[in-house]
């Protein structure tokens, strides 16, 4: 990778982080903050939420990239998705997680840093990490569907599981290709993910003026 290309990637990552830091904290709701009332609305909300919210998107991408280091990485991704669904269920059952959004930001930073420094995790450690991250993100995602009727709720969960699995598996595939060539790009991706998490953490810690 040339110095010019590296500068361009760094500039793009900085712009992304700056844009995220200036965005409203709860702007990533597919239905504009409205509670889904139909099966289709629930499905669209589930499909769109992890894509619109850069915090969740970044975490899922990081999980996919880290899973690529293991022969059965798809199993680790399944573990992440199952834990995420459990987190949604816990929120719907009335569980309380103080400072959930700050914890979400912290998980994004942690995943990004692990990816950036290329630290090798055993399958067991990766599974525990992914399960913890999945549960926290699931809890946060459950806020947008809390109080919904059964039909849109089921549709939301279906959409959520499908899109997160697809994103993570696609990220794992890309990471496998990068690992065979220029692994520096994978480390840069980890740095960018950590930067997104840091911007979110600052956004949560410092109230907008």
> What are 138-172's pLDDT values in tens digits?
999 888 787 778 888 899 999 999 999 999 999 99
Residue 195 pLDDT greater than 90, yes or no: yes
Q: Between vectors from CA 169 to CA 178 and to CA 77, what angle results, nearest 5°?
A: 115
- pLDDT band for 197, please (50, 70, 90 cuts): very high
- pLDDT band for 207, please (50, 70, 90 cuts): low
- pLDDT band for 68, please (50, 70, 90 cuts): very high
Residue 117 pLDDT greater than 70, yes or no: yes
Other C-beta atoms within 10 Å of 183: how many? Answer: 12
Q: Does the predicted TM-score (pTM) go above 0.85?
A: no
Contact 162, 45 (CB under 8 A): no
- pLDDT band for 127, please (50, 70, 90 cuts): very high
The DSSP code for 31 is T
| Lookup: tokens for 138 | 């699931």
Contact 156, 36 (CB under 8 A): yes
Sign of CA dihedral 10, 14, 17, 19: negative
Contact 62, 68 (CB under 8 A): no
Cα–Cα distance measured from residue 164 to residue 13, given in angstroms and rounded to the nearest whole number: 22
The number of residues making up the chain comes to 209
List CB contacts of 166: < 8 A, sequence separation 6 or more.
Answer: none
């Amino acid at each position: 990778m040339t110095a010019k290309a590296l500068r361009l990637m760094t500039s793009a990552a900085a712009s992304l982080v700056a844009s995220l830091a200036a965005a409203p904290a709860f702007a990533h709701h597919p239905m504009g903050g409205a509670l889904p009332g139909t099966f289709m609305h629930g499905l669209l909300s589930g499909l769109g939420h992890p894509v619109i919210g850069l915090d969740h998107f970044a975490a899922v991408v990081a999980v996919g990239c880290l899973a690529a280091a293991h022969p059965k990485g798809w199993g680790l991704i399944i573990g992440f998705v199952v834990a995420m669904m459990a987190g949604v269920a816990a929120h719907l059952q009335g569980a309380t997680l103080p400072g959930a959004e700050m914890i979400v930001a912290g998980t994004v930073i942690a995943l990004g840093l692990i990816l950036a420094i290329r630290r090798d995790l055993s399958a067991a450690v990766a599974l525990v990490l992914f399960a913890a991250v999945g549960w926290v993100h699931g809890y946060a995602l459950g806020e947008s569907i809390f109080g919904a009727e059964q039909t849109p709720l089921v549709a939301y969960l279906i959409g959520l599981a499908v899109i997160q699995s697809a994103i993570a598996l696609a990220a794992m595939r890309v990471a496998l290709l990068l690992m065979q060539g220029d692994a520096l790009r994978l480390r840069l991706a980890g740095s960018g993910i950590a930067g997104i998490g840091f911007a979110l953490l600052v956004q949560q810690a410092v109230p907008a003026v």
